[in-house]
Structure 1
Amino acid sequence: MGISLRKRVLVTGGAGFLGSHLCRRLLDAGHDVLCVDNFFTGSKDNILELLDNPHFELIRHDVTFPLYVEVDQIYNLACPASPIHYQFDPVQTTKTSVHGAINMLGLAKRVKATILQASTSEVYGDPEIHPQTEEYWGRVNPIGIRACYDEGKRCAETLFFDYYRQHGLPIKVARIFNTYGPRMHPNDGRVVSNFIMQALRGEPITLFGDGNQTRSFCYVDDLIEGLIRLMETPKEVTGPINLGNPVEFTIRELAERVIELTSSSSKLVYQPLPQDDPKQRQPNIDLAEKTLGWKPTIQLNDGLEKTIAYFSKF
């Protein structure tokens, strides 16, 4: 690749599940990648084989403190994303979303970089409309146990759009729906990793509520493709844009698929639904299809097989 096409790309949260996949894709595309992580939920194991790549650099850093580097693009992925992890230290979770956004936006403004925010479907809360479109403002409990993550990400979106309006900063906001795949944390408490680990160990598979609440599961390779396409759009495309798989499954259906694919003897057990847990979550991706020419291509069974193969090593 010619020197003029090689970009210097910063990925915050780069040692996490999504970040480690994104770092690989960017290196494969011929860019210099600066991975920043404080290793609260990220793991050096996720990026171990990248450390010898001369175009990859790792910095241990917490985005709640300013960072002074020279880059062309910033993917801001830093934030614990599963309820177990973001509720462990809720004040720090909010600080990571809000102070982290302020610091990364300040960096982008100084170096004139395009910056992408990894926002979340959690900004929609427990939605009254289905499926969720980008125009929907959401239904979030601002004082509930999930608010540190939901409201932190909502405030980050506010900051991104204010920097865009006030400073003309080129921004991109992606609202990421449930994503799964290799390098998920095995103990992150999310349904895909939970179910696979329980099935592989022959333990009862825990369903909260009646198992009829729905989720839409996007395989990580599809999601990363969407993020990269969004980053490469013209300046006037800011988002927010939903990125996720519009095919909806009940939690019980997911559990049954996992049992089948692992040939497990696990049985289903039911527990009460956690506070503010959304009943339905499904993206409308019309905007992503029209603007990015993007839609997921990997079927749930194929993605689950790859993910099960990864978790089988634990």
Structure 2
Amino acid sequence: MTKILKEDLQHILIHTESLWDEMNEKRIFITGGTGFFGCWLLESFTYIVEQLKLSAQAVILTRDPEKFKQKCPHLFNHPAIEFYQGDICNFVFPKGEFSHLIHAGTSTNARLYQDNHLGMFNEIIEGTRRTLEFAKVSGVKKYLLTSSGAVYGKQPDTMSHIPETYQGSPDTCNIASSYGEGKRVSELLCTLYSQQYGIEIKIARCFAFFGAYLPLNLHFAIGNFIRDAIEGKKIEIKGDGTPLRSYLYASDLMIWLWTILFKGKSCFPYNVGSDEEISIKELAKIVAEICSPTIEIYIGKTPLVGQIPERYIPCAQRAYLELKLKQKIDLKMSIKKFINSQTEIIYE
């Protein structure tokens, strides 16, 4: 069972406490509330509402409430949360007014891209359009889109960190660009609705994250490495281990997302993620050192001589300069926390 550590929720509260007054006596609508981002949003929302004694409610759109009830009964039964059944592309609008909306309802499962690129592209765009229409009629003042660093396309070899001002884009003749291009269109849709209907649109271009609730059996390298290490198996790197990535722990991610929702500038994208780069090979080594130094690391391919490593690293200066956001939990501590979240008792 996946578990959230109480210290992580306290960490989120400490660094966002001053922002929450505007949620008192309000309702927030959240899509994607049953995924990795969503579970952390709900965990932090319920904890903070309890600790600050706020009168606030979150309504969560989901295709299968019963499935989530089995996964997280403590969240499903929480009095500050209501689950609303529907599909992101065509859900019937719930009644009443909402002050805030977080649209995080896009799958990041790589298998879906392989099987149905067109379906993925359509779901991203139509889901965004539907939530914007809902925001328009329900009185939403602040709308947060969880976009992606994929909107920039391939990071140039000469660029160490991608800034929000970079004008690159995905290759429109490559069907693997369906996710990144879908997010680009979603950002444009949000900007158009903001201009026409006066909604404050907050855009978070998200990179790589991990923590409790991250699936350990999908395409997330760090999740696979930790799974193998916990099970005492060799850590397998399918590539050559040279790509450079960065990772932000989930409690830091929540601080960034809540802050951007409440305080971020409208139609002013913020990169969300760590700017501390690490190769996939070095990441595997750190996981092995923390779990068991005797664990073998297998690298499937040999790097080409003179090859420039592929990069996917954000520049996080805008978030820091505008909102004072920065990585507070370093990578090694984050990995230790993630491992503990697989074994420790859930908070009381």
TM-score of the superposed pair, with normalisation by structure 2: 0.81
In structure 1, the residue corresponding to 2:72 is in which secondary structure?
Answer: helix
Is residue 10 of structure 1 aligned with residue 44 of structure 2? no
The one of 310, 322, 339 equivalent to 1:308 is: 339
Cα offset, 1:238, TM superposition: 2.8
Q: Amino acid of the residue matched to residue 6 of structure 1?
A: E
Is residue 141 of structure 1 aligned with residue 171 of structure 2? yes
Identical pairs, percent: 26
| Two-structure CA RMSD over aligned residues (Å) | 2.5
Paired residue total: 307
Structure with max Cα Rg: 2
Cα displacement string for residues 106-152 of structure 1 (whole angstroms, at most 9, x for unaligned residues): 01111221211000111112111330000112241224353221111
Aligned to 1:238: 267
Is residue 219 of structure 1 aligned with residue 249 of structure 2? yes
Q: 1:161 to 1:21 in 2, by over 3 A?
A: same
Cα offset, 1:4, TM superposition: 7.8
Cα displacement string for residues 169-227 of structure 1 (whole angstroms, at most 9, x for unaligned residues): 21110001101101111212111111111222333323243211100100011011111
| Aligned mates of 1:156, 1:272 — CA distance in 2 | 38
Q: Where do residues 184-223 of structure 1 align in structure 2 (5 Å cutoff)?
A: 184-223=214-253
Cα displacement string for residues 13-41 of structure 1 (whole angstroms, at most 9, x for unaligned residues): 1010111111122223323111112369x
Single out whichever of 172-181 and 202-211 deviates more from structure 2. 202-211
| Aligned mates of 2:22, 2:277 — CA distance in 1 | 44
The one of 249, 260, 263 equivalent to 2:278 is: 249
| Aligned mates of 1:21, 1:68 — CA distance in 2 | 24
| Aligned mates of 1:205, 1:259 — CA distance in 2 | 8
Aligned to 2:208: 178
Cα offset, 1:50, TM superposition: 1.2
Q: Amino acid of the residue matched to residue 15 of structure 1?
A: T
Whether the aligned pair in 1 keeps the contact of 2:284 and 2:297 (CA below 8 Å) is: no
Cα offset, 1:163, TM superposition: 1.1
Q: 1:45 to 1:186 in 2, by over 3 A?
A: farther
Aligned to 2:316: 285
In structure 1, the residue corresponding to 2:203 is in which secondary structure?
Answer: strand
The one of 106, 126, 129 equivalent to 1:102 is: 129
Q: 1:3 to 1:207 in 2, by over 3 A?
A: closer
| Aligned mates of 1:231, 1:240 — CA distance in 2 | 11
Whether the aligned pair in 2 keeps the contact of 1:222 and 1:296 (CA below 8 Å) is: yes
Aligned to 2:14: none
TM-score of the superposed pair, with normalisation by structure 1: 0.89
Which structure 2 segments of 5+ residues have no match? 1-19, 50-55, 304-308
| Aligned mates of 2:48, 2:241 — CA distance in 1 | 41
| Aligned mates of 1:272, 1:44 — CA distance in 2 | 45
Q: Amino acid of the residue matched to residue 98 of structure 1?
A: I
Aligned to 1:89: 116
Aligned to 2:92: 67
Cα offset, 1:310, TM superposition: 3.3
Cα offset, 1:311, TM superposition: 4.1
The one of 128, 146, 168 equivalent to 1:118 is: 146
Is residue 36 of structure 1 aligned with residue 61 of structure 2? yes
Q: Amino acid of the residue matched to residue 178 of structure 2?
A: C
Whether the aligned pair in 2 keeps the contact of 1:85 and 1:188 (CA below 8 Å) is: no
| Aligned mates of 2:118, 2:340 — CA distance in 1 | 36
Which structure 1 segments of 5+ residues have no match? none
